[in-house]
Structure 1
Amino acid sequence: MLFISAVRASRVLHHCMLQSVMRAPMCFFDTTPMGRTLNRFGKDIDVVDIQIPLNFNGGIDCLLQVLSSIIIISVTNPVFIAAAIPIGLIYLFIQKLYIGSSRQLKRIESVTRSPIYNHFSETLNGTSTIRAFCAQEFFIGQSNVKVDLNQNTFFCPY
């Protein structure tokens, strides 16, 4: 049911997004790079198709495992409850810090992903010109720089 619902939601989301883009005024296409539009379509559909169902399924599994473990440990060793409460409070504090940092990293990743799609789209449109001037290595290098910048949000470069 979860995956069927995800496919249905993805279909509805894609249809609504496509309708919105097709009905957008021409000034939208003049001011918005093609890479940004492709980025939004690709990322949103990826999230609905893949990430939400897997995260939901993993979250339910993890929740059930943690609850069953806590119940079993609490029944066999009641002193555990006294130690679990302060640890839980510390966990909540750390979680608040993590959520803010994670949100900022996702914003940075999204901002640095759009130039990759834009550069790729422009490169495909200008392939014959790039070959005519033997500038393949230059464009490959530019693409690598943009991908490296995007990956810095996931991996520390040092």
Structure 2
Amino acid sequence: MCNNASRSLNIRALEKIMHAPMSFFDTTPMGRVLNRFTKDTDALDNEIAEQLRLFCFGIGNMIGILILCCIYMPYFTIVIPFLFMYAVSSFSYYQSTAREVKRIEGVQRSIVYSTFDEILQGSDTIKLYGNTELFINKNKDQINTMNEAYYLTNALQRFFAVTLHFASGCLNLVVTMLCASNAFPISGASSGLLVSYLVSFSMQLIQSSKAAGQLEQLLNSVERVCEYAVDLPQEASYRTEPPNTPSAENWPIQGSISFRDVCLRYRPALPYVLKNLTIDIKPHEKIGICGRTGAGKSTIMTALPCVV
């Protein structure tokens, strides 16, 4: 299931990239695109399925251990809701921070990829001006910034593990004291079975909670790939129906070009380059467009296919 989903999202994202407008490539660093098809795709292919397996494995073991405790100690059922609430509250407190840190790590990784790509493309110019050391230090600083988020993720995981170890230790203490005090009619063999399984309950609780946190954090990669596979703007279709043009004998009927209050801008967020432009070009006229750099000469030529 994970492999099919990853393959489908990757192919759809690649198709969307191939049909994205030029404005997307003008405003998007190449490292951000590369990060989608390298680290994020690797998370979809390998890491998500593995974390999901660990989560299901740990949950199954914990349920079995709790059922075993309830069979030998019926009153132990009272402790389970409190244990569940403590684990959920600790997980929510941990995950609200870890999720955002994971997003920061993904953004910083895109910056590293983008800078590395720029250095590769401009390596001749960098060597010519003797700025090799400057760009090496810049790359090191960006890698260190990315690793700050990575180390913070590990620190949050250790904090969460200590919290769950405390809860599991209290649970082990309670069950061991009940077994040792003969509060329930349990044989020595059954007491040893319960205690041995509860020792592993601590590791199962930490493993499944950590896997659930990792799984939710890795879904950031799914979110980032889906951004390209679903929400990426697209160019017009490559194949369109031919327009209703006049017959070859009567074409062209009229060779004039008329602009009427034409306004044009390259992207919705940018200001207008042409504002209320009105031009009438008669048939058989030869027109030259003169002006300084940035006056809009090429923009007028760009607007020609849009004129009806």
Which of the five TM-score ranges fits, normalised by the shorter chain? 0.7 to 0.9
Q: Report the equivalent of 2:12.
A: 16
Q: What is the CA deviation profile of residues 106-153 of structure 1, one whole-angstrom value per residue up to 9, with x for unaligned ones?
A: 221122122101101001111222333443332222111111111111
Whole-angstrom distance in 1 between the partners of 2:28 and 2:129: 28
Whole-angstrom distance in 2 between the partners of 1:86 and 1:55: 26
Q: SS where residue 155 of structure 1 aligns?
A: helix
Q: How does 1:6-45 map to 2 (within 5 A)?
A: 6-45=2-41
Q: How does 1:3-152 map to 2 (within 5 A)?
A: 5-152=1-148
**Which residue among 151, 154, 167 is the counterpart of 1:155?**
151
Q: SS where residue 24 of structure 1 aligns?
A: coil
Bigger drift between 103-112 and 118-127 goes to 103-112
Q: CA deviation at 1:73?
A: 1.6
Q: CA deviation at 1:83?
A: 2.1
Structure 1, unaligned runs of 5 or more: none
Bigger drift between 92-101 and 132-141 goes to 132-141
Cα RMSD after superposing both structures: 1.7
Runs of 4+ with >4 A deviation: none
Whole-angstrom distance in 2 between the partners of 1:34 and 1:81: 56
Q: Give the number of the structure whose alpha-carbon radius of gyration is greater.
A: 2
The amino acid of 2:48's aligned partner reads I
Provide TM-score, normalisation by structure 2: 0.46
Whole-angstrom distance in 1 between the partners of 2:54 and 2:91: 18
Q: CA deviation at 1:65?
A: 1.0
The amino acid of 1:151's aligned partner reads N
Q: CA deviation at 1:26?
A: 0.5
Structure having the higher strand fraction is: 2
Whole-angstrom distance in 1 between the partners of 2:2 and 2:80: 36
Q: CA deviation at 1:24?
A: 0.6
Whole-angstrom distance in 1 between the partners of 2:75 and 2:134: 65
Whole-angstrom distance in 2 between the partners of 1:74 and 1:132: 75
Between Structure 1 and Structure 2, how many residues are aligned? 152
Whole-angstrom distance in 2 between the partners of 1:46 and 1:134: 37
Whole-angstrom distance in 2 between the partners of 1:37 and 1:116: 12
Provide TM-score, normalisation by structure 1: 0.86
Q: What is the CA deviation profile of residues 66-122 of structure 1, one whole-angstrom value per residue up to 9, with x for unaligned ones?
A: 111111122122232222221211222222222211221122112212210110100
Whole-angstrom distance in 2 between the partners of 1:101 and 1:61: 25
Structure 2, unaligned runs of 5 or more: 153-308
Whole-angstrom distance in 2 between the partners of 1:86 and 1:32: 49
Whole-angstrom distance in 2 between the partners of 1:142 and 1:71: 56
